[in-house]
């Protein structure tokens, strides 16, 4: 798992509940029971060397732009598979096609793209090892969303702290 924000934590919890071994890579250290955690640039290659299914949920920042590239794919375990459900800007499209053709990856599931909607002439549509979903990895549950918005508005009106604020210095 690349990234461990709210979405990443949900995915990790689901995978752990299903009995899968889970490793994570994050910008800063995290400690989660039953998860092998890697953090920082210095541990990225080691994380990749233990990874067969790479799931990306990173925020798109200057540091993560293009992180899903030929170098990253070359460090994964044999028969690796990519799932990108974060942002299209993480992926170098041509590097993915090349990694699939060279059998460095056996497949990819892509929910996000650099250009959306994905143009009809894009090679991803016709590649037998690529599965495409229409940017639906995170469903909005209307009652939950309304409840959260209401609570945040009330907290702001009462001068209380609000969760989920963007840290502009980090880009997410």
Active site amino acids = 87, 135
Largest CA distance in the chain: 58
Contact 81, 54 (CB under 8 A): yes
By DSSP bridging, strand 130-132 and strand 80-84 are: unpaired
What is the Cα–Cα distance from 14 to 48, expressed in whole angstroms?
A: 21
Q: Which residues of 64-79 are buried (b: 16+ CB within 10 A; e: fewer)?
A: beebbeeebbebbeee
Residue 88 phi, psi (nearest 5): -60, -30
């Amino acid at each position: 798992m690349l990234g461990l924000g709210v979405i990443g934590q949900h995915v990790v919890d689901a995978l752990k509940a299903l009995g899968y071994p889970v490793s994570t890579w994050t910008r800063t250290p995290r400690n989660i029971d039953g998860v092998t955690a890697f953090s920082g640039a210095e541990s990225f290659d080691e994380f990749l060397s233990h990874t067969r299914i790479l799931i990306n949920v990173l925020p798109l920042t200057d540091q993560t732009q293009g992180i899903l590239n030929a170098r990253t794919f070359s460090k994964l375990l044999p028969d690796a598979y990519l799932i990108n459900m974060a942002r299209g800007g993480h992926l170098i499209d041509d590097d993915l096609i090349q990694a699939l053709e060279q059998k460095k990856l056996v497949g990819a599931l892509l929910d996000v793209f650099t250009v959306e909607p994905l143009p009809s002439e894009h090679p991803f549509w016709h590649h037998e090892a690529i599965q495409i979903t229409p940017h639906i990895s995170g469903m909005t549950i209307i009652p939950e969303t309304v409840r959260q918005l209401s609570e945040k508005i009330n907290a702001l009106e009462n001068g209380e702290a609000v969760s989920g604020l963007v840290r502009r210095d980090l880009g997410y």
